[in-house]
Structure 1
């Protein structure tokens, strides 16, 4: 009988790796809170029409990558409902905004999420079929300032702060404008016309995209197609005055707060709901597929899925790829416990547990050994699991003076039990 394994494109996250994941998520929550964002948790599956209408039926996500099934009807008179595991979360957040009438508050809704998404794509390093995203959305009625370019700049400044606080160095911000809902169709038409005579020279995927979703051609990393793509029309030549002014204001605000960026005229992002500002944060440590996170403005998405006018801007950060960057930079925090409490005899196990409880309640991370271990094994286990070992024998129990050894320095000291916490924190 064959051994069951995780399904291809999924994997288990185990200690000590999960400590780094927790660090990333805790840092994100802390930063988002400073910008007055609150957490939203939406279902992991939605009505398929939400993504077909919101993301776009001709996008690769909807046409090729979604996990969709027919939910069985409860009665013969009912029609089975088509459901889909969420391939992204912006559409779900906007659906929740509409369903719960959040726009009626008259305030901006600043919402973040952390959780799994699902796409049936070719698994590769940093890309999985069940993957994890950290994202945020700012959405609300125009009267609340949701269309303001200041909102765009604030989100970008927040992301720069988050990456800095995660310890990621060498990130690079690229921005562009894809214009209004009226600019974009004119540009798509121009792209189709320009691609017509040359699309047969491109890879199979780009030949298909040239017909179904020309904007996706600009995202292509296929090296053989780059010379053709570089000669295609630029979106900047198709922007109306309002879109140009909006983008100029975003750039001015970024300049004022000192967030460095580059304007990339090829950065259009292929999802149907994007308007005006689009952006990506990239990092050289990820190779050709170098995007850490991306996002943009989606001023018409609410109306597309049946809601009121509610301009918004948001982003999604691939947590899997972010972890790879942190590991490559050795920016992870230590995975070791603060102390390993080693009882010197089985009769001392209860008292050692009491000591470990005191240390844990003081906020320390503690591993507890076993009095049945020989001294050599206690030291071996402690060296693998903790920065310091606390020896707890009968002499230590009676005198209240504990023996502490630092594995890194080799220093061994005697410490009164009342003073042990600050010593272990060092």
Structure 2
């Protein structure tokens, strides 16, 4: 599937393993998502900022002990999804890319990657080693401690659009497991636990063909773990010292990879109209007994069939064919990329009909993907049901309790 990403001109392999060049068509998809998401979070009073990409070793070590406690949990619950709790903004993102599940969980840490370090300046060793940003909790929270003094400074909601570096172990995969990728990360601090919980959501894309889950977008309920480590305290309304409650949340270019896996087929990409940089491609069909150059496609040495194949590979939602009969009948032939359906549309009605068709394609792609996902969901109540569903690569909906003692018992049973 991801070989087609190169042929479809989404990416190009870079000379360093695990790094990829995002070509203009991929960047346009990302910019579409970015423009939508950025406008929505600003409605929630989130402000954009930017922090440097280097992390001090001493700050990163403060996060290490916290992260270690979650690695086993992450491995255990790789295919498990829990009760839905989500925000309207992420629900809207569904209709741009694919249907997803949203779950409320504790802080999540990726496994299978190591931190990349800068240890030299020229030929000289650095006195303090610098990590390249794997995420920004340890970069930002020392300054949250500086900026948050009293309850009037809360809530503090900051977001940044940036790149991160995670030197994945094993075989990298374009978009899904790359060693550098783009994302946005939001970091919120609240005076109360209830305020923090009201913001929590998590989105995980499920790929029915593989039975795997992909962390396309996520929210981490950090509780007061980082507030303790970085002393993010404030004076409450009673004049007493208290620690803030924190969340971090974001989504990345990994969502583009999930989109490719969910909607793509053997011919190539199938792009949802709302994110496709080109929604309609018009291809002239020449007379068989005459030589007519096709300039709209910018190529005069390809047959119409070759052009059809090329644009199908790139996933353009609609293809318009104009042949001699169409000219006589004052119509065009329209071909839908998602299901291959063809229809004739009169020239006079073309603009309005195209708008309707694009909406139909968008909804149909969403419905098909959602149906595939729903067919893979299995509700379980016992440990035996859990094991059987996991072996069948199902998407599991299981009971969950936040009580620490029950989590420990569950892990011991594993």
Normalising by structure 2, we get a TM-score of 0.48
User: RCO greater where, 1 or 2, for CA within 8 Å and sep 6 or more?
Assistant: 2
The structure where strand makes up a greater share of residues is 2
The structure where helix makes up a greater share of residues is 1
Normalising by structure 1, we get a TM-score of 0.47
